[in-house]
A and B are shown apart, each in its own frame.
Chain A
């Protein structure tokens, strides 16, 4: 299968703030591949390097070593992001714009022709159920509405790869279901979804493959069933893989 997301020996170090402080290694030679058309879960405890990996893939930070590519294009090229959609964990958008204006702005950056852009705007606003509020300024939106705007902007360019960072964080059960539906729909359309999450139950339900990362290293990658193996659940498997030792009770 052709990998549309690939990292090879990806290494990221952050310089220490104090004088003579050793650099902090966030990623240690990460090798990762995500194939077209699959839903890929990216798991790990806090501080494992998930966000750093996503930041490298999106061009926010430069890797210290190794390489990363999207659709065969080095992530340092802006064009690598032409076919992706990104939903950050915390969604904030320009408060002085309306949802419609925001989507129109992003579609212009994607160089969508105007007619197509208008169609896409109508489609995604209907999908996230913001059609009635499209002409209101974003500053008047509730938190849930702002998150839906986030989802809309991630889908505006009909991306082949959707990258979601904690997509269900802070959502109510209805919102979570909506996100799951969208992920499933995209999968049915042959799109690729790459998302990091702490909701292992959700990951178990929707993902085809998962990768588990801890302390900057890839600990396990493969189909959910293969990783769970003989263990009771993905959660147990996760805890075993990251080396969690339960503290003995006094």
Chain B
């Protein structure tokens, strides 16, 4: 575990020393502040459109950070030859994979804390309320969902040749799941065989990442808390997928040449 945390620590350092996070964070703040300054019929209490915009930017930024940070981990190590001195230490490949995953995941967690803190401050500036538990539920499931994305991207970085292609493919898959994942079974019903069976199979096997994504509407429109048991169940469901992707990544990495 010590080795895993050591590798994770380096990944986190890399994230806060690169400019990506700061650029996206500042961009989010600027866009939200500009939109907040718009005069809408002299009413200063309108907030939901801002909340929706802010949450959308948070989701986009977090996905970009998660995917781009993870996609370059192993390929960059291989390209820059930092992998050799690393694996020459008493560090197994499985520990390296888990360390990279944990580092990216914790780094994304820190990113989400910053983003959601800004979101909370923005919302509170007009609503004058702090539904902390609601924000916590949304942020927590958002973070767990990013764990699945990171694990999937890590597997992709071992399968695909270049980080750019891996990033693109993972981003397209994730966006497709977020947008139409919930309705894929309806799409399947409208098709003839064998398309119907294929799409149905995909519907039941892919991770339903759109569940945390749908929580944005609950936050924007001030719906009551979700029951904690459902939050826990969804977290377990997503963690199971993350674990599956990680195991696959370990199996693939074991057979890969490192130089």
The answer to whether A and B touch directly, with their CB atoms under 8 angstroms apart, is yes
Q: With A86-B85, A96-B17, A109-B3 as given contacts, are A78 and B90 in contact (CB-CB < 8 Å)?
A: yes
Q: How far is the CB of A200 from chain B (nearest CB, A)?
A: 25
User: Which A-chain residue is minimally distant from B95 (CB atoms)?
Assistant: A78
Q: Does A81 contact B (CB under 8 A)?
A: yes
Q: Does B197 contact A (CB under 8 A)?
A: no
Interface contact B90-A150, CB-CB below 8 Å: no
Residues of chain B within 8 A (CB-CB) of A79 are 90
Within 8 A of A (CB), among B80-134: 80-82, 84-85, 87-92, 95
Q: With A93-B82, A97-B13 as given contacts, are A58 and B2 in contact (CB-CB < 8 Å)?
A: no
Residues of chain B within 8 A (CB-CB) of A92 are 80-82
Q: How far is the CB of B23 from chain A (nearest CB, A)?
A: 16
Residues of chain A within 8 A (CB-CB) of B259 are 55, 60
Q: With A96-B18, A105-B9 as given contacts, are A81 and B85 in contact (CB-CB < 8 Å)?
A: no
Interface contact A60-B81, CB-CB below 8 Å: no
Over the window 90-121 of chain A, the binary record of Cβ atoms lying under 8 Å from chain B Cβ atoms (1 yes, 0 no) is 11111111000100011011110000000000
Residues of chain B within 8 A (CB-CB) of A96 are 13-14, 17-18
Interface contact A105-B6, CB-CB below 8 Å: yes
Residues of chain B within 8 A (CB-CB) of A88 are 81, 84-85, 88
- Interface size for A (C-beta < 8 A) is 32
Interface contact A153-B90, CB-CB below 8 Å: no
Contact residues of A with B, CB < 8 Å?
55, 58-61, 78-82, 84, 86, 88, 90-97, 101, 105-106, 108-111, 150, 153-154, 163
7 CB-based A-B contacts, threshold 8 Å? A58-B88, A59-B87, A60-B84, A60-B258, A92-B82, A96-B14, A150-B85
Contact residues of B with A, CB < 8 Å?
2-3, 6, 9-10, 13-14, 17-18, 80-82, 84-85, 87-92, 95, 257-259
A55-B259, A78-B95 known; 15 new pairs, CB 8 Å cut-off, are A60-B259, A78-B91, A81-B89, A84-B88, A86-B85, A86-B88, A92-B80, A96-B14, A97-B10, A101-B13, A105-B6, A105-B10, A108-B6, A109-B3, A110-B89
